[in-house]
């Protein structure tokens, strides 16, 4: 029998499908629950009513209804971001792989702030100790930065939460659909809702970057 999909996985899938960061989507649900309506990217969210235990939401893009569902008070009161735990599920990975368009691998020297679908291969030189932060949504997150390099240069890669545990110094990693941003004058890479970081393998097991 097929296992029933959880609310968290369902919402994470909606965020992925409509290219919305999961934290923004969850925060928009909270706002709609308090103020009746909210916006999140191309999505509009309405609170359609409340029962003793649940809040009912309607999600639309333009005039098209995307989904209607109820969420429990316990789910909405989660202090973290309950959607992030489901971003690595098989269903979401399959969807991202299916939607991904072939992309030419870039070199670090080609990266410019504002790019949103950067794909490249690089070697990890350093990984900083994670720092605990409070996001603008009031949730807690950990951030570390890896210095990565290819034969054309170096750049910092932001690693959020469990991403930091997936790389080691000396690994060669494949990054897809990353965003190139500028923070305090420094260009850096970050993985958005559709960005992926492969399971790294030791440099000795890969051919050298050509």
Residues 6+ apart with CB under 8 A from 174: 119, 120, 121, 197, 198
Is the pLDDT score of 101 beyond 60? no
The reported pLDDT for the residue numbered 197 is 78
Q: Give residue-wise pLDDT tens across range 7-40.
A: 889 999 998 888 888 888 999 999 999 999 999 8
All structural domains of the chain with their residue ranges? 7-99, 108-204
Q: State the CATH class of domain 108-204.
A: mainly beta
pLDDT of residue 209: 39
Question: Looking at the whole model, is its pTM more than 0.75?
Answer: no
- pLDDT score for 201: 44
Question: Which of these, 90, 108, 100, 91, lies nearest to 146 by C-alpha position?
Answer: 108
Please tell me which residue, 206 or 167, carries the higher pLDDT value: 167
């Amino acid at each position: 029998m097929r296992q029933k999909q959880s609310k968290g996985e369902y919402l994470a899938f909606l965020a992925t499908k409509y290219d919305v960061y999961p934290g923004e989507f969850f925060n928009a649900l909270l706002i709609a629950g308090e103020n009746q309506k909210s916006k999140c990217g191309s999505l509009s969210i309405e609170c359609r009513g409340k029962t003793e235990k649940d809040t009912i939401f309607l999600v639309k893009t333009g005039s098209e209804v995307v989904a209607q569902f109820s969420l429990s008070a316990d789910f909405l009161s989660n202090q973290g971001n309950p959607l992030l735990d489901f971003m690595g599920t098989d269903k979401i990975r399959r969807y991202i792989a299916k939607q991904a368009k072939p992309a030419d691998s870039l070199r670090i020297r080609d990266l410019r702030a504002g790019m949103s679908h950067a794909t490249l291969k690089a070697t990890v030189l350093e990984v900083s100790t994670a720092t605990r932060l409070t996001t603008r949504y009031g949730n807690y997150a950990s951030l570390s930065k890896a210095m990565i390099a290819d034969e054309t240069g170096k750049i910092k890669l932001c690693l959020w939460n469990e991403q930091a545990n997936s790389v080691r110094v000396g690994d060669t990693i494949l990054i897809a659909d990353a965003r190139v941003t500028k923070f305090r004058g420094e260009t850096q890479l970050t993985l958005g809702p559709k960005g992926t970081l492969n399971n790294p393998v030791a440099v000795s097991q890969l051919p050298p970057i050509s």
